Amino acid sequence: MSGCFITFEGVEGVGKSTQVARLEEALLARGLDVLVTREPGGTPLAEQIRALVLHHRGEALPDAAELLLMFAARAVHTENLIRPALQRGAFVLCDRYTDATYAYQGGGRGIADALIDPLATLAQRGLWPQCTILLDAPVAPALQRARARAGKTDRIEGETLAFFERVRARYLARAAAAPERIQVVDATGTPEAVGARIWAVVRPLWGAM
């Protein structure tokens, strides 16, 4: 594969969507092929699975079912969209990927990594991002921004502050364990300042394509 796979991670409200859009604009301005996508979702079928995970329903969704649905969506997304884009040489910018599962279903829900690991192997078939940008900020103000923006919360956005603190802690633990791939970027400050920090991380990746 000759493309470059970059993922953005972080808790709700840290500005992932804003920074993905800023980076897309910067890369397009330099004449690069860019695909922007998200998880769960990204393809019509994967978006249907996303709806099953996030929408409130009359029947409870067990944690194990949530985990399996996340990887079902990821398998579809990876094979039908991400891998073909990388094969044609595109920059793929993805709002969340498997690190989110370790953070949310692992850290947040308490599912052991030993149960997540084989599902990642099966769904991704060895595909991991060259670079993961972890936008990090204190949870409480970030969550407040996310909820004010969204108005109505989905199943995960409506979780407790303690849940999101566990998610953040797991993200930071994963970054400490894989510093060559996961770059922690301070998400506080203006969008321009955060964007400049991200650009400093992304610019050297051109030479790896």
Task: Please state the separation of Cα 199 from the chain's center in Å.
Answer: 18
Structure confidence at residue 126 (pLDDT): 95
The reported pTM is 0.93
Q: What confidence score (pLDDT) does residue 51 get?
A: 93
Q: Which residues are 35's β-sheet partners?
A: 92
**Residue 74 CB neighbour total at 10 angstroms:** 28
Q: Helix (H) and strand (E) counts for the chain?
A: 9, 5
Regions of the chain with pLDDT less than 70: 1, 150-151, 206-209
A 10 A CB-CB count for 171 gives 25
Q: Within 10 Å of residue 184's Cβ, how many Cβ atoms?
A: 19
The pLDDT value recorded for residue 209 is: 46
